[in-house]
Homo-oligomer: A and B are copies of this chain.
């Protein structure tokens, strides 16, 4: 039995990573975002792709006291001997609800595009038509359109226009972003109200336009969040809130008789 891999390999004098000499050709030369992209695709990104990719990672790294951040802080409070446990616990909250929009949106756009017979639209009118059909189909199946709406940024998520702009600057505004923009234009006609395109969804569209596998988009959100959670642990060390947060919950517990339900 043998196990093939194109990732890391070591011999007496060299370490190879992705077919490169790690020490000579990667260290000091390849940035961390660039490397993460390369590891996931086994293809070195262009500087433009790296810039879009890192903009997405920045957009997703931290949003204050989200459930994942609180979980990491409370786990670090309980088990300060295990930084890996605190980090892992926080990442485990990266599931379908809070960190899942990026992947859900990327997949949704990907599925719509994959279902197009013939060529993709070439003008806004064509994109709007495709978007309209897609939004209608979701609605008919009683499903949400991923990437629409935000509980705080009700008048527009500031990450959205910025990410569209960066992708355009780098010539990387592809069909996923085009379709997502069209959804932004047409959805009020179907839903009867105007919702902002949220940042997490835009990130999913941008990552899909970079050619990253849609089944792994959640993974990139997790990588971004890993950096954010490390920041949370560092801040918990210097300005702790974990104990207060725990006690605020524990001291407001109200005992309910199990039989009263």
Q: Measuring CB to CB, which residues of chain A are less than 8 angstroms from any residue of chain B? A: 1-19, 21-24, 26-28, 30-33, 35-36, 39-43, 51, 53-55, 57-59, 61-71, 74-75, 77-89, 91-100, 152-156, 158-159, 161-163, 165-166, 169, 199, 213, 215-216, 218-220, 222-224, 226-228, 230-235, 237-239, 241-242, 244-246, 248-250, 252-259, 261
CB pair A216–B2 under 8 Å, yes or no, is: no
Docked CA distance A180–B30 (Å): 25
Residues of B within 8 A of A100 (CB): 79
Assembly stoichiometry (copies): 4
CB pair A27–B59 under 8 Å, yes or no, is: yes
- A-B pairs, top 5 by smallest CB distance, nearest first, are A79-B95, A39-B231, A32-B33, A78-B93, A88-B88
For this complex, 12 residue pairs linking A to B, each with C-beta atoms less than 8 Å apart, are A28-B162, A31-B31, A32-B53, A67-B77, A79-B94, A81-B82, A85-B85, A87-B219, A91-B91, A216-B230, A223-B227, A245-B249
